[in-house]
Chains A and B, each alone.
Chain A
């Protein structure tokens, strides 16, 4: 399971870094470059941590657990990159230049120190015990402390900045991304604190059993959340548009039976173009938007054409029955009742015998999306609303007033 998790996280980090690389080339912005490098280094860390790969790396150089050393160095590099990213966020490029240079110099120094300590320490063949190899081995313990400190500092900084600026940004996807990154950093920070505890415990001879798989799951999940958070604002809009498109298509399909009933079946002269396009073509974004628009207009035209046949009594009954509902639902049910009563009267070629009543005003503001949502409600009510059926039947006034919320006769 650890192999699968780290492989997935590593793949995700490399994809995210590649995604940001294209933006780096296009925008030539040092902050974007810093995000890209941070993600790439996260990919290096996770790749080197995949157990089979780590074991293979450990055996490539005689007497040196190269896999462990590579992981430690990559973590320190990742921490430095994350700190540079945060510096470039919180300062202008000119103000951050000095601090960035200092961080890079410190990185070089720490890498040299860590490598020297590691080589001098000669830790034993790598096993899955993080701390046991350090007990009594000062050099190795120092390496592990540097590793934990570097990772912990970076995670703490990302978590603090992420939570803060998630509240302050006015872009919803950036806010969600920062929250995800902050949550991921918090998980990895918890991993660091626990590892520190076991390291200190091992040094004092307390070798407590701890769930290694669970710890790696926490660290891997934290890394995944950080990756998602740093890239969500880039791919999020496409994802949101994709969901919107699916929702729009579902609502368009829901209008079909109503459109067949009152437009294609009764007033075909209102149809601009009978579609013979395949379903796949109808689903294409540009084509779907046009078809949704046409469907709404044709339904509106049919609604006007059916006005002389509307039964005003049925409409009043529908208004009374639904007076406790919110405006959108109430107006949709009343409109569906009007249409049902008008279709019924038109079929019997008998206008209602009164001056043409107006139609129930639709609570719409000129927006296609809200019109589509409203007509989807009308279509649903037209097809199967018990309120509509009740309004079209001809009860006495007493029955209508009795059908109030809480009354046992109130339809569901």
Chain B
């Protein structure tokens, strides 16, 4: 589905473009975005509005715009959020490439939240995958119309005119006559849009920007302190708020004494925020807000609040006891999510078996910019400025909480100071809106780091149980994997305890091993904290269990870990979707374009190994290498980690080699940067990441007790190897994370003989 319209005289982008500009609008709704979401959100969307189907299938809603000013400035609207993955640069570069625009004359304007753009929820590593072809068609349309405008002006056939090799100019080839894009804007604005079938997309060999390294658009602003994040949003006359949330999910204020808080200079008032109505979804947690003249006064006032809480049922949650329950759950038969052959019959034959349990705790996002938002309520309308991954969810949530139509909520998207999934949930924006309505002034809500860590939508806690029967050659004849984790669906639906097809499809119902008998199961687990997406989501605990267990089997078989992993992956083949889990959704990607291709997984494993010096590098005592390979977000990544144990028995991560096959690459430098960052993110969660709870309240609160790698603790050298590929573009932001922790733990085993089955490494004294 793909419609483009000439909007030059329709007043779109008023204030951004001048009246003489040439403006194209288009509706690009990737089919994947119209299907049900993959990660348990369908329920939520049903409760919140219509985010699952934001665009009518027949009505025309322009969702991407490119404008051309008479002075030659090209304005491209970025409709997805920039949280550090580079999509605000990559998508416009695809348009500019096909348009033959000069990148130095491109200006990027960030879209507000609006259903007319289609899905804007910047998650799931699919901005480039879902919009690559659309952006190309879009740029080609603009180029074609500019060529036609020039041809008409010169009264020559359009076939004699072209828009390359010099960018931003149309040339009449026989005469060498040229016209700049800016000069052609007015004429192009009067032309009809050519049908898609008539467009000629550029061949790969003529790509100007796609596949070439580029700096991100906001680079200089970031390095000079000018870039605008949510934390920097400002409205004249705004007040500042800091919110004391119930320490336990679902808690309520039993009594409040704010007399001391009100004595703090600069504090104006306190405002109660109502508790949410279950399920909590994206609603504010409730609590008491301190409203002040500046952030500091609001923080100080909050410390003086005296609140007695009615903690409610979740006060029974203790993470240590809960872990035991989860581990018991996976020791019993659970719901079958995927089955091949008959593992029970194979186990009953009495061959040698191996069992192991794995555990990954709750994790927090801890983006450097804590949740923050500015909102202004006036006459039934709300204007918000927020670092959000999903401005339409802001519209829906704010509309729901304030009882105004979502169309009356305007959400400006700032740059995001990191997000990692946290900022897909707009509870903090709704807080600002509630407080603005109650105070009659624009309000900025600033979460402290403690608020961020204690009131996150956590990456879920997970236990896994693995069992395999080994044949005569040491390869498994049967493989059973069971997991249990409070699902993301619990955030949107009461009593939701099983993993969704989307969550299980992240490394549990698509294990690409050539094993004749294989069964994946999933057990129930109730949530006692808010659960949400975190960079690479369920792949983290699934890949940890699968890739660790694979290495355990290799050891049992007395084989090299790489060789054994390659044997498990087996012969090169494209796996028939029928042979994957019944609910396997492939991250919404069309399976025919993005099948599970074991040759690609094998190739990244071999490439990472080769580049790391696997099997050739001389390792001293206390040194070791480990590998893991995992497909997620329809991208293939293998990571080799080299470690050395120091004199205190702590692990030091030396060199990392990550090989990635993500199909066609738009910006190789962005891919390298994301893969480097994923290694650090993986190292952080493996070494230090752990959220625990006592009587329902979270024990951690800042970087002092929720640690993450600093420069001296991060991998020292990260080498990224990109597989050259003409396959369709796949995900980049997340897939580097899942293989890291198992590769690290496999390396620790190689170095020490000690098998790590629980994260983080601080639990076993290794970090």
Partners in one complex: no
